[in-house]
Chain A
Amino acid sequence: MPALAVTLRQRTPIPLDARFECEAGELLALVGPSGSGKTTILRAIAGLVGCAEGRVEVAGEIWLDTARGIALPVQRRRVGFVFQNYALFPHLSALENVAIASARADAAAHARELLARVRLEDLAERRPAQLSGGQQQRVALARALARDPQVLLLDEPFSAVDQAVRQELYQELAQLRLTLSIPIVLVTHDLQEAQRLADGMVVLDRGTVVAEGTVDEVLAQPAIAERMPGVEAGSLLHCRVSGHDARYGLTLLDVGGATLRVPRVDLAVGTPVRVRIPARDVALALSQPSDVSVVNRLPGRIESLAARDATYVDALVRIGTAVALRARITREAADRLALAPGIGVWCLIKSVALDRATSMLTVESVRPNDAPSAAMPGAPQDVSQR
């Protein structure tokens, strides 16, 4: 039984036809253009809006079942909800904002603990207006967790901060979710964001689910990729730090039995990380080349070939059992090498790609509190008012 199962259907006021599930500990992204109904779905899960026909089940508890006339009020649904503009209570301190949502007897202590978890313990007494945009988002996240929620709902939580802060918050969310064992639903119109943070993805268009599956599966569908401009075809690899090479300043990542070498990152051995490798930065060779400078050479077997257009072909290469790497090569090259499914190849991952992959690491040792004005002096969210 999934930790969160949602079915929603209605014609008005906002047409919806959605059905999806999310496991405990999974981060599911609801992606779609604005007006696609993704926020409405989130609000229906929380009970902030009704739905003509639907069912929401969380951890075995029925929150909504229109067929049986069940619709729990918002207050009885244990959700953590992070609003787009955070909706922090302006007259309360950061600590009070979090404590008010805690049902525990020691609400203040609980709130302090949560603020420490988002590294804001030193700013607990500040009012929201005295916090930077990034700090406000973290207070909102702490408040959402204060109820000991059974599901965490994030409504475009990164849209109100600038790019620099966003990158930082991504990493924090990635780190935080390692400690959570509840389903997390993230609403975003930014596919890159979904790609970076989510395990599963539901793509919506005018309230209807047009694609769903793991991030890799969804992005593999050309129809979806076409719909989402700006998305670069690539592979998302789930790895684990397996060691460090001090002599060459490299970190070794284990990916399904194979090893990737990336510029050194300070992570403990065993830390799970994700790297993204753009398809056009993967070259294929029929034999193991020994006279190239490329560090990462992984053996695999071609699983499928799909022509992109007149010039390019996307090859999906299976490495070991669990990993699939996407390579974009020219049709000319594919024909010259007589590539076909089942053929063994070597994937050459250019160092450029890995540099980029390293910066995409979603878990990283993070530095302490960012000062309100430190990140970007010009950005409005970072102006602190007293």
Chain B
Amino acid sequence: MDWEATRVSLWLATATCALLTPIGVWLGRRLAIGEGRHRALVEALLTLPLLLPPTVVGFYLLAAFGAASPVGRWLDRFAGLQLVFTFEGLLFASVLINLPFMVQPAQRAFAAIPNSLREAAWTSGLSRWRTLLRIELPLAWPGILGGVALTFAHTLGEFGVVLMVGGSIAGETKTLSIAIYDRVQAFDTAAANAMSLVLVGFTLAALWVVFATGQRARRYLQER
């Protein structure tokens, strides 16, 4: 059982969720109620990570941010930031590939709020900001929480991109899924089994949250 890998995985999943939640809420809400001209294109771009093989995403990230690329050199020189084979790079990649998992549930949650509720809030004197905090977020949170749970579970389970972008540096970029692969290669079935069980447990818990909140959200909006 590789506790270091478990720690990296949990830390990566938590940080991804923390970074992605505000982005997902903002983007999801915009897509749900905005009238952006390029909405279809934005939605297509956001869904892309779902369908592309992780190797493609990983390859482009390497090409874009590797030490050989101008962006990679610039980031290293001015921010001291290396995005390849580091935890920061892994986090960046993780945020990117998890966009659809966070944005889509948030978008659905905001779209389910009737526009008349927003208007009622405004005519009641609530600013747009207060309308978001007092009306929209409380109504959308089951959907947002579902997105957070999905993102968490998906980050724990991600393998391809992590391998491509992170390598397998113990304590830094070696996540549970990579560690399981290592153990299987080394014929250490017992360790692979233990870690697989941990992953199954976490993922199941996250999915349970998704479906439980989904049910709650349905109840909320249907009873209106």
Binding site for B on A (CB under 8 A): 46, 48, 74-75, 78-81, 83, 85, 87-91, 100-101, 103, 127-129, 143-144, 146-147, 385
The CA of A293 and the CA of B139, in the complex, are separated in Å by: 64
Which single member of A48, A129, A146 contacts B122 (CB below 8 Å)? Answer: A48
Q: Is there contact, CB below 8 Å, between A90 and B124?
A: no
Q: Is there contact, CB below 8 Å, between B135 and A87?
A: no
- B141-197 residues with Cβ-Cβ distance < 8 A to A are none
The residue of chain B having its C-beta at the shortest distance from the C-beta of A76 within the complex is: B125
Nearest chain A CB to B115 CB, angstrom units:
9
Q: Is there contact, CB below 8 Å, between B135 and A89?
A: yes
Of the candidates B116, B124, B220, B221, the one having the most CB atoms from chain A within 10 angstroms of its own CB is B124
Nearest chain B CB to A30 CB, angstrom units:
17
The residue of chain B having its C-beta at the shortest distance from the C-beta of A91 within the complex is: B138
Binding site for A on B (CB under 8 A): 114, 116-117, 119-127, 134-135, 138-139, 220-221, 223-224
Nearest chain A CB to B187 CB, angstrom units:
54
Nearest chain B CB to A298 CB, angstrom units:
46
Q: Is there contact, CB below 8 Å, between A81 and B123?
A: yes
The interface residues of chain A lying within 8 Å CB-to-CB of B220 are 90-91
The interface residues of chain B lying within 8 Å CB-to-CB of A78 are 125
Q: Is there contact, CB below 8 Å, between B224 and A128?
A: yes
The CA of A130 and the CA of B220, in the complex, are separated in Å by: 12
Q: How many A-B residue pairs have CB under 8 A?
A: 59
Say what secondary structure dominates the interface of chain B: helix
Q: Is there contact, CB below 8 Å, between B224 and A48?
A: no
The CA of A78 and the CA of B123, in the complex, are separated in Å by: 8
Q: Which 10 A-B pairs have the closest CB atoms?
A: A101-B124, A129-B223, A87-B120, A81-B123, A87-B116, A74-B122, A90-B224, A91-B138, A385-B223, A83-B116
The interface residues of chain B lying within 8 Å CB-to-CB of A90 are 117, 139, 220-221, 223-224
The interface residues of chain B lying within 8 Å CB-to-CB of A88 are 120
Of the candidates A78, A85, A90, the one having the most CB atoms from chain B within 10 angstroms of its own CB is A90
11 other A-B residue contacts (CB within 8 Å) besides A75-B126, A87-B119:
A46-B123, A78-B125, A81-B119, A83-B119, A83-B120, A85-B116, A87-B114, A87-B120, A90-B224, A100-B121, A101-B125
The residue of chain A having its C-beta at the shortest distance from the C-beta of B131 within the complex is: A75
Q: Is there contact, CB below 8 Å, between A100 and B119?
A: no
The interface residues of chain B lying within 8 Å CB-to-CB of A46 are 123
The interface residues of chain A lying within 8 Å CB-to-CB of B124 are 100-101, 143, 146-147
Q: Is there contact, CB below 8 Å, between B138 and A75?
A: no
In the complex, 16 of the A-B residue pairs with CB atoms within 8 angstroms, ordered by the A residue number, are A48-B119, A48-B122, A74-B123, A75-B125, A83-B119, A85-B116, A87-B119, A89-B117, A89-B135, A91-B138, A91-B139, A91-B220, A101-B124, A128-B224, A129-B224, A143-B124
